[in-house]
Amino acid sequence: MAGKKASVWTSISFWRRSAAWVTGLATILLIWLTFDTMAQIRMGTDQELKEGIKRRIPAPTVINYKIDYKYDEKRGLEAPVIGPEKQPLFGKELSPKEAAALLHLGKLTSQSKNCMDCHTLLGNGGYYAPDLTKAWLDPMWEQTMPAMTGKKTKEEAMVAFLMHPDKYPTHARMMPNLGITEQEAKGLVAFLKHMSSIDTNGYPRGFSKTIKEFQTGGTYAK
Amino acid sequence: MLNKTAHLSPSKQLAMNYFRVAIVLFGAQLLFGLVIGLQYLFPGFLYEVVDFSVARMIHINALVVWMLYAMIGSVYLMLPDETGIEKPVGMGLGKLAFWVLTAAVAVVVVVFLFIQVGPGKESSIWFINEGREYLEAPRWADIGIVVVVLIFYANVFFTYMKGKKTGIMTVMVANLMAVAGLYLAGMFFTDNISMDQYWWWWVIHLWVEATWEVFVGTLAAYALLRVIGAKREIVEMWLWIEVLMLFGSGILGLGHHYFWIGTPEYWWEIGALFSSLEPVPLVAMFVHVLYDWGKEQGAHEAGGKGNAITNGPTMAWVTVNAFGNFLGAGIWGFFHTLPQVNIYTHGSQFTAAHGHLAFFGAYATILVGMMYLGIQDSYGLKKLKATFKSKMALFLITFGMLGMAVALTIAGYEQVLVERAELGAGWQAFFTAQNLPWYVQAMVWREIMGVVVFLGFVYLVWDLLTIGKVEAAAEEA
């Protein structure tokens, strides 16, 4: 290395320059892709929802609509199906402003109650409790939980459960009482319903197979 | 480790302070790990006292913070050796920053343990807990961390500018800027969970799969120079090659976290390609360590000089690092990095198996090695030989970690096949898999192996506290 250079492969300056170039190129590519992704994952608008324009992350008012998760033949995976039927949360259609406020409360509550250290959200978090990505569509909320909590609808059952999870044990491993208020619980339900409308490229796969098994209709049933 | 540091340079004294806090937090990490492992088996254990979420938050935050402490300590340890400057620029501020950071960490831990959660308001995010895995530290602490890290960075940067500019320090200074800058990506709130996780991964991934790995390469280079007297030209050339490969694969390897969080499908190809390349530099690092070791040992024996190694425990931990990094981060990561597999394994115990072995293999090992270098300096020893306790610590911790990773992998397999493939990932599917005997047995073994790791940790602390005195006495005799 000192004196006569035997080969470029043992030259420190060659490797230093290569490292700088490769790192620089990778960084530029990442930043460029980030701009593209940012545009694709910004939250949609109410107008887009009304016009049936698909967004990967729909507007907060998506909670006014019926949401399903169905097998898409062309993509070979399950994708959310939004509307066109309405299914307002707690039976009351919310304005874009009200929906955004409720979602904001829900997201904030999900963080301040530290949901993510037991549950996974979009598959990320703790592995101690079920994944919440499509929790809004879970068949347990259709059948078991409304009966257990004595509520008529699944969103009411969710609120009752979230406020007092220690009262409604479903397994030996129970969710603790985190002091969630009624309003916070409603926010969380809005947050969960909104999350179930996100296009997650088919994760979790086969989710609606469970729905079929619980006879509420699902993707593999078509 | 406790009282022999008076003769050390100010930089190395501060390094030892960082190491002391690091080892305490390491212990806390293991203890809370045992708690959550036990909660898998006995869900009533500490229910509504220290719930799983709380104990896990402390488990993973103690992990991140002890590693950051040990990393900062390692930099202060190598700074005088690499730059030729005994007293870094702005040392007074650096010392103050250590105490401020330690006080802040103590407050955060107390709040995590005793206040735990807050109402759904901005104030909770600011003062109690941010609720984003690994980045739970409340916002005030985030800002404090940034300030402290800036002071630390100023110490390093201005000392570097003033002193010798070795290749190792050049990589260190450039890389540390990226480590510090990336933390900012995790300091904002958004209602959009996909946007949230997109930037969250900038911190998590670009730390542990890019900048921290380069950091490890730098530490390994420094350790090889000191411990076996490797040639600087060779070590620094390898370091640049490692930087090339680590950043070349790791930066865009970020894509493997963007398969399922609402981000576009093109991340499948980008994430799959680049993250599949991530093990390559880890193989290179392994080869590099063993090759240099063999080469220097051969030269020593040819010259009739006996053993080339001047610090047995450090060399042992660096070697375990070289292999553990490749195995835990490389192999275990590659297992589930392709989207075709990951759609089933994402968010299962598979991830936990990889996480445990990777954090241990890639980071814990080399940072413990750096602590032994600090001990050697503290006692001014020419040689530091491994004691029985050093060997027990290395063996028990490594064996226990491997056992845990294997147990979690088995639990992960079961979970992936039953909960995901067979039943489709719902609430009932989750618990059906959690309750199957094979899963439960794996979790029992995980806890047993966790106890083995903890025993190893006891040996490690015992050794760190005593090895210097023992070896100093031996050297005098």
pLDDT band at A213 (very low <50, low <70, confident <90, very high): low
CB nearest to A41's CB, from B191, B194, B270: B194
pLDDT at A211 over 80: no
In this predicted structure, what is the pLDDT of residue B6? 67
Domain ranges of chain A: 8-40, 60-213
Residue of B nearest to A99 (CA): B191
CA distances from B451 to B27, B38, B460 (A): 12, 11, 14
Chain B contact set for A213 (CB, 8 A): 423-424
CB nearest to B193's CB, from A34, A118, A122: A122
In this predicted structure, what is the pLDDT of residue A143? 82
Chain A contact set for B434 (CB, 8 A): 171, 173
Chain A contact set for B421 (CB, 8 A): 206
Give the distance from residue A123's alpha carbon to the nearest chain B alpha carbon, in angstroms.
5
Mean pLDDT within B2-15: 80
* Whether A209 and B423 lie within 8 Å, measured CB to CB: yes
Closest of B306, B451, B468, B321 to residue B389, by C-alpha = B468
pLDDT at A3 over 80: no
> DSSP for B253-310?
HGGGGSSSSS--THHHHHHHHHHHHTHHHHHHHHHHHHHHHHHHHHHHHHTT-----S
Residue of B nearest to A199 (CA): B262
Chain B contact set for A173 (CB, 8 A): 43, 431, 434
The predicted-structure confidence for B162-177, as pLDDT tens digits, reads as follows 999 999 999 999 999 9
Mean pLDDT within A177-203: 97
Closest of B357, B326, B350, B349 to residue B336, by C-alpha = B350
Share of chain B residues as helix, strand and coil, in percent rounded to the nearest 5: 80, 0, 20
Residue of A nearest to B408 (CA): A127
Residue of B nearest to A100 (CA): B191
Query: Is residue B125 a contact partner of residue B189, using CB atoms and an 8 Å limit?
Result: yes
The predicted-structure confidence for A25-45, as pLDDT tens digits, reads as follows 999 999 999 999 999 999 999
In this predicted structure, what is the pLDDT of residue B3? 53
pLDDT band at B477 (very low <50, low <70, confident <90, very high): confident
Residues forming a β-bridge with A72: A77
In this predicted structure, what is the pLDDT of residue A215? 47
* Count of CB pairs separated by less than 8 Å, A with B: 268
Mean pLDDT within A136-161: 94
Mean pLDDT within B280-286: 91
* Whether B421 and A178 lie within 8 Å, measured CB to CB: no
* Whether B424 and A30 lie within 8 Å, measured CB to CB: no
Chain B contact set for A178 (CB, 8 A): 117
The predicted-structure confidence for B52-110, as pLDDT tens digits, reads as follows 999 999 999 999 999 999 999 999 999 999 999 988 999 999 999 999 999 999 999 99
Give the SS3 label for residue A79: strand
Dist. CA B411–CA B428, nearest whole Å:
17
Mean pLDDT estimate for chain A: 91
pLDDT at A6 over 60: yes
Type of residue at A62? V
Residue of B nearest to A214 (CA): B428
Mean pLDDT within B446-450: 98
Chain A contact set for B270 (CB, 8 A): 33
pLDDT at B39 over 80: yes
Dist. CA B257–CA B264, nearest whole Å:
12
Give the distance from residue A86's alpha carbon to the nearest chain B alpha carbon, in angstroms.
22
CB nearest to A15's CB, from B136, B244, B347: B244
Mean pLDDT estimate for chain B: 94
The predicted-structure confidence for A61-76, as pLDDT tens digits, reads as follows 999 999 999 989 999 9
The predicted-structure confidence for A66-118, as pLDDT tens digits, reads as follows 999 998 999 999 999 998 999 999 999 999 999 999 999 999 999 999 999 99
The predicted-structure confidence for B398-437, as pLDDT tens digits, reads as follows 999 999 999 999 999 999 999 998 888 889 899 999 999 9
Residue of A nearest to B120 (CA): A109
pLDDT at A1 over 60: no
CB nearest to B347's CB, from A120, A177, A207: A120
pLDDT at B344 over 70: yes
* Whether A116 and B195 lie within 8 Å, measured CB to CB: no
Type of residue at B102? T
CB nearest to A124's CB, from B251, B270, B347: B347
Query: Is residue B120 a contact partner of residue A184, using CB atoms and an 8 Å limit?
Result: yes
CB nearest to A127's CB, from B121, B261, B349: B349
CB within 8 Å of chain B, chain A residues 169-208: 170-174, 176-181, 184, 187, 191, 195, 198-208
Chain A contact set for B423 (CB, 8 A): 209-210, 213
pLDDT band at B474 (very low <50, low <70, confident <90, very high): confident
Chain B contact set for A16 (CB, 8 A): 167, 240
pLDDT at A216 over 90: no
* Whether B252 and A19 lie within 8 Å, measured CB to CB: no
CB within 8 Å of chain B, chain A residues 94-153: 100, 103-118, 120-131, 133-135, 138-140
Chain A contact set for B431 (CB, 8 A): 130, 170-171, 173
* Whether B117 and A111 lie within 8 Å, measured CB to CB: no
* Whether B431 and A171 lie within 8 Å, measured CB to CB: yes
In this predicted structure, what is the pLDDT of residue B304? 86
Share of chain A residues as helix, strand and coil, in percent rounded to the nearest 5: 50, 10, 40
E strands, B50-89, where? none
Residue A137, CB-side half-sphere exposure with 13 Å CA sphere = 34
CB within 8 Å of chain B, chain A residues 75-94: none
pLDDT band at B197 (very low <50, low <70, confident <90, very high): very high
User: What architecture does CATH give domain A60-213?
Assistant: Orthogonal Bundle (1.10)
pLDDT at B2 over 60: no
Does the pTM exceed 0.80? yes
In this predicted structure, what is the pLDDT of residue A209? 64
Residue B233, CB-side half-sphere exposure with 13 Å CA sphere = 10
ipTM: 0.94
pLDDT at B42 over 90: yes
pLDDT at A134 over 70: yes
Torsion angle (degrees, nearest 10) of CA B292, B293, B296, B301: -150
CB nearest to B247's CB, from A22, A166, A181: A22
pLDDT at B24 over 60: yes
In this predicted structure, what is the pLDDT of residue A217? 40
In this predicted structure, what is the pLDDT of residue A222? 39
The predicted-structure confidence for B376-405, as pLDDT tens digits, reads as follows 999 999 999 999 999 999 999 999 999 999
